[in-house]
Structure 1
Amino acid sequence: MPLHIAYADQAALRARCEVATVRTSRPEENAYEPGSVVPAGHWRPMTEADVKAVTAPRRPLDSTLVEIVRPPFQDGLLLDDLARALGDPDAIYLGQALAKPGMTTTTDNYEDRLLIGLHLDNWDKLAYADKHTGRRRLCLNLGPGTRYIILGAIDAQAVCRAIHPDDHAQRYPHTQDYRAYVAGGRPIRIVRIRLSPGDGYVAPTEYLLHDGSTEGEDEPSAAAFWLGRWPRGILPSLV
């Protein structure tokens, strides 16, 4: 299933979102792993067609839905405890990450510190047939700066089928599938969603190409992350 964003107010959604495409990182961009998928730039406002493309069906799978939310954080609340009341007693706190200002993408490989670009998470290590059932990630922007979540519009199962037409059913969809997809000249539309301090998202980062960004911002941004199986609508929506 492609990128689906839950919203009730189209104007509020469009005010937060911009659209672009991707490219493969260039050799001179030596902060990135070779072959990384990165935004091509030229972000533009969402059109009516863009909004229609991300509009969820009437009964979407919670596990594949993106929500733009206001997590219930308040001073004195331990981040470890924030997600416990949201409908999944087994949700886990993944920790925090600090992004410097002006980063097109934010995630690096902890082994060599090279940026990995837009990617898939793999906490659940799911095979092709089950990739859409993974846990979703909850993010809270702790500030002080604004940050973005970038999401790809084509899902991991569709990309895996395209790259491995003969044996996709035996595969485990991976970031490398997306890299091969883009290197082969296939386009991917991406959506960038603005998150002010205190804002957050719930997204299927095991299923959709994604990464954080602080591009164009002049302050760093820390973010906290959790992983769980939350029912849609459990947090107040910002759109």
Structure 2
Amino acid sequence: MNLAIAHTDPAALIERCQVTGVRIAGGEPEYEDGAVLPSGLWRPLTGETAARLKPTTDTSDSTLVELIRLPDGPPPTSLAGLADPLGDPDAVHLGQAASPAEALTTTPNYQDGRRIGLHIDNWDKLDHHAKHTGRRRLCINLGPGTRYLLLGDTDIQTICRTIHHDPASRYPHTDDLRAYIAGGHQFSVYRLRLEPGEGYVAPTELLPHDGSTEGQLLPSTATFWLGHWPRGVLPALV
């Protein structure tokens, strides 16, 4: 299952997207040993790559990445209620996360504060067979700074099938991603720019991901929801 980013304007996607490889953290105080990180030397997206990222007729809503902006009109009475009219009455507001400026990746572990790098979410506690059916995450950048969404190009189901003889009995984990990269498998990470008021809907239970404020002088805060949303519920950026 390939990374698929909804877009109708390839030039708009190319303008806000770059790609690089990954490296493994080791002996870096701010990171867990073994964390998977962008290697740097970001390259511009090519037209050929943008075409490969376009969804096909087989791409389900639950596996699709969408870059979105807040809708026009008056804001909701509370931020937590923003997702109420989007089509899933059971959507959950997860709250907010503040990210410092100049962070290569943003998510810490909550035991010692070290960052975990690219990772897989597990809110829905799904096994290998069902991982692609999880809720998607809606994120809005509240600013004040620009931030990025980092996305790996290989989903965790494919990763588990590659490194485990019996993936059907497993619950995919970030450790599987780390083992996959340590085993020398090819892997690319895409960086998608999000200005304040912009965001994404993405299958973070399925795709390795994180936030980033690399190269940004201002911090930013993101707010998050989980839900089963059909594609196109918010205005598209690309």
TM-score past 0.5 threshold: yes
Query: Aligned equivalents of 2:76 and 2:82: distance in 1?
Result: 11
Query: Aligned equivalents of 2:50 and 2:40: distance in 1?
Result: 20
1:221 maps to a residue whose letter is: S
Identity of counterpart residues, as a percentage?
Answer: 57
1:124 maps to a residue whose letter is: D
Q: Is the 8 A contact 2:20 2:43 kept in 1?
A: yes
Match of 2:32 in 1: 33
Match of 2:168 in 1: 169
The CA deviation at 1:186 is 1.2
Secondary structure, aligned partner of 1:23:
strand
Query: Aligned equivalents of 1:24 and 1:77: distance in 2?
Result: 44
Correspondence list, 1:66-145, <5 A: 66-72=65-71, 77-145=77-145
Query: Aligned equivalents of 1:10 and 1:23: distance in 2?
Result: 28
Q: Which moved more, 1:50-59 or 1:179-188?
A: 50-59
How many residues of Structure 1 are paired with residues of Structure 2 in the alignment? 237
TM-score by length of 2: 0.97
Q: Is the 8 A contact 1:138 1:200 kept in 2?
A: yes
The CA deviation at 1:207 is 0.2
Correspondence list, 1:204-215, <5 A: 204-215=203-214
**Gap runs ≥5 in structure 2:** none
Structure 1 runs (4+) deviating above 4 angstroms are 73-76
Q: Is the 8 A contact 2:10 2:47 kept in 1?
A: no
Query: Aligned equivalents of 1:92 and 1:10: distance in 2?
Result: 32
Q: Is the 8 A contact 2:10 2:51 kept in 1?
A: no
Correspondence list, 1:198-237, <5 A: 198-237=197-236
**Gap runs ≥5 in structure 1:** none
Secondary structure, aligned partner of 2:176:
helix
The CA deviation at 1:76 is 6.1
RMSD: 1.1
The CA deviation at 1:77 is 3.1
Correspondence list, 1:38-53, <5 A: 38-53=37-52
1:205 maps to a residue whose letter is: T
Query: Aligned equivalents of 2:152 and 2:218: distance in 1?
Result: 25
Relative distance call for 1:63 and 1:76 in structure 2 (3 A) is: closer
Query: Aligned equivalents of 2:75 and 2:99: distance in 1?
Result: 22
Query: Aligned equivalents of 2:119 and 2:150: distance in 1?
Result: 10
